[in-house]
Amino acid sequence: MTRLFFRAEPIPGESIYGYLSRLGRVLGYRSHAWVYDTFPDRFPVKSTRSLLIEPDLGFLAEAVSLSRERLDAMRLPQSGRRQFSCRGQTIARQDINAAADYFCPICVQESGTHYLVWHLAFVTVCPIHNCRLISRCPNCSRAFDLAMVLEGRCDRCTRRIVSGHLPSGQVSSIIGKLLSLIGGVNEDGRPVDMPEILQGLDLSSALDIVLSLGRTVETTQKVGRNTVRDAMDARLTAGFSICENWAEEIPGILHREFERPRSTGTSKLGFFQRRFIRNKNPNVRRMSLAAAKAFDKMKIEGQLNTERRIDLDEYMKLSIAAASLGISEVTLLDMCSRYDGRIDRIKWGKGFYLHNSSVELIRRSRTECISGKEVATLLNIPDRHQIHALYEAYIFPHADPTLFFDRRTMTFHRPTVETFSCRLNSLPKRSGPNSTTEVGWHTAKAMYMAKHHSSVDFVKMITIGRLTPSGRLAGKEGLPALLFSKPEVQIAASAGYPSVFLQIDED
């Protein structure tokens, strides 16, 4: 049996990766790679994962002169098919990140090692220094190792290794409270500052409840860099806040559950019943049943309110209405304040509710109206002044006043604009103009503007039909792709156009 001639005492909270890396620096290695060279037959796959969750590392404990219990305290040994043990508590496989090594640069500089809790998937922020854990260089994307973080510079691009501080310590404090479930307890055996519904749960069960509640308040999917870790932070913050204010927050979640469409025969309590009412923990079941009964009582009282004669089933909560319309709550509230007589809304409890007919009116307006910017995109007109001229000249019909909420914006009737666009695209396609009889868009506009007219006037002539296109360039769309008869352009430029424009047909 291979046995090292020296030994080192583990640092409290240290991971097997950090401990072996400290030993490796004595042997002249940058990291824990000396283990693979010393025991090549034991590690066919050279990865941190094999050290972290390998079922039996008794041979390694003997080599470094440690007891197996002290070595396992630095690991996540497997305790079941998809379960692992951390400080005497069972943790599910999905809550462990063994694929990459994450670091807090400040902790590494202070202690010179890697901590075990950084392998937990929900630990995305250092709970001590409130900084983002990092695994790769943001400049060259090289994966960090412990020696590189200790040196403070990336080997490839020589940039300093830093991690930005977050604007608020809320996420780090929540992570610290969850970590107290695997060691930090007071005299009565309960975690410090833990909400009542999470007390008595193991780490994976508590994390499942927090993240499940955090997902219920998500409205849009995040995109961009570090999306997964940012989403984890947002879910932890929202979910833990709901756990701390259970009695006030759960009715809102249940209301959203009842607002979602369900097929015939399915339970309206769906998510809440699966996750909470049927939970294995009796404390969670007790609080969940009480919250469900309180919500049912509030819902019945709202429906039977004879004084105001309001049926809440005919109304939609502001947040749900905004999500279904694809706009923000602030924008929707602004619409309600400016068109109060047209939008039926009530304030019930702490929130606003919109009548279903009002929500449908707004949805219809967003379907049948089109902004000037969309018109420019549809007709491929690059100049916003040309769109403004089309709006002021009333060439395209404006939106129906009952569907039009803000007259400060240029809004057109969508079917009319789409019909005009289809007419332009239905013209015969040509590879180019006939040099003797036809001219292209830019030439025709130059001929028209040479008679002291503007480019806006030229667009108006085409829109009202005074100047008819003869074809369009193949593979292109919009007004700039049009071809015109040269004699017609000359006549139009000489004659000009009337001051009153005709509205185009919609059929």
Start-to-end Cα distance in the chain: 90
Burial of 367 per CB tally in 10 Å (0-12, 13-18, 19+): exposed
Give a yes or no: residue 251 inside a domain.
yes
Residue 185: phi, psi to the nearest 5?
Answer: -125, 155
Same domain, 73 and 118: yes
What number of CA atoms fall less than 13 Å from residue 25's CA on the CB side? 14
* Under 8 Å between Cβ of 271 and 259: no
Same domain, 323 and 240: no
Per DSSP bridges, beta strands 429-430 and 369-371 are unpaired
Same domain, 434 and 475: yes
Confidence band (pLDDT; 50, 70, 90) for 303?
low
Collapsed DSSP state (helix, strand, coil) of residue 309: coil
Same domain, 142 and 42: yes
Same domain, 237 and 190: yes
- Is 404's pLDDT higher than 50? yes
The pLDDT score that the predictor gives to residue 389 is 75
The 10s digit of each residue's pLDDT in 106-116 is 999 888 899 98
What CATH number does the domain containing 327 carry? 1.10.10.10
Range 47-54, long-range pairs (CB < 8 A, 24+ positions): 48/17, 48/98, 48/101, 49/98, 49/99, 51/16, 51/17, 51/20, 51/75, 52/15, 52/16, 52/17, 52/76, 52/98, 52/119, 53/77, 53/78, 53/84, 53/96, 53/98
CA dist., res. 312 & res. 297, Å (int)? 13
Give a yes or no: residue 410 inside a domain.
no
CA dist., res. 242 & res. 236, Å (int)? 10
* Under 8 Å between Cβ of 73 and 10: yes
Give a yes or no: residue 391 inside a domain.
no
Confidence band (pLDDT; 50, 70, 90) for 502?
very low
Residues 6+ apart with CB under 8 A from 8: 19, 22, 23, 26, 64
Same domain, 192 and 259: yes
The pLDDT score that the predictor gives to residue 462 is 84
- Is 505's pLDDT higher than 50? no
Same domain, 278 and 228: yes
Q: Say which residue the tokens 């002044």 belong to.
A: 385
- Is 349's pLDDT higher than 70? no
Domain range holding 257? 181-303
Same domain, 323 and 249: no
Give a yes or no: residue 321 inside a domain.
yes
The 10s digit of each residue's pLDDT in 194-252 is 888 888 788 888 888 888 888 777 766 655 555 677 788 888 888 898 888 887 787 77
- Is 348's pLDDT higher than 70? no
The pLDDT score that the predictor gives to residue 227 is 66
Amino acid at position 106, single letter: I
Q: Report the pLDDT averaged over residues 126-140.
A: 87
CA dist., res. 375 & res. 418, Å (int)? 9
Point out the least confidently predicted range of 30-34, 398-402, 465-469: 398-402
Domain count, the chain: 4
Q: Report the pLDDT averaged over residues 422-435.
A: 86
- Is 472's pLDDT higher than 60? yes
Same domain, 32 and 141: yes
Helical residues (DSSP H) of 311-404, grouped into ranges:
318-325, 329-338, 356-368, 372-379, 384-392
The pLDDT score that the predictor gives to residue 289 is 81
Instruction: Provide the percentage of residues in the chain whose pLDDT is more than 90.
Output: 1
E strand or H helix at 286, and its extent?
helix 282-303
Range 124-127, long-range pairs (CB < 8 A, 24+ positions): 124/171, 124/175, 124/229, 124/232, 124/233, 125/166, 125/171, 125/172, 125/175, 125/233, 126/163, 126/172, 127/172, 127/173, 127/175, 127/176, 127/179
- Is 156's pLDDT higher than 70? yes
The pLDDT score that the predictor gives to residue 478 is 82
* Under 8 Å between Cβ of 113 and 101: no
Q: Report the pLDDT averaged over residues 403-429.
A: 79
Point out the least confidently predicted range of 421-430, 437-446, 475-484, 497-506: 497-506
Q: What angle do CA 411, 415, 418 make, to 5 degrees?
A: 95
Give a yes or no: residue 490 inside a domain.
yes
Same domain, 289 and 320: no
- Is 266's pLDDT higher than 50? no
Same domain, 60 and 139: yes
Give a yes or no: residue 128 inside a domain.
yes
Give a yes or no: residue 125 inside a domain.
yes
Same domain, 131 and 236: no
Give a yes or no: residue 164 inside a domain.
no
* Under 8 Å between Cβ of 86 and 51: no
**Where among 268, 303, 338 does a domain terminate?**
303
- Is 176's pLDDT higher than 50? yes
Structure tokens at 367: 């379907």
Confidence band (pLDDT; 50, 70, 90) for 5?
low
Q: Report the pLDDT averaged over residues 338-366.
A: 77
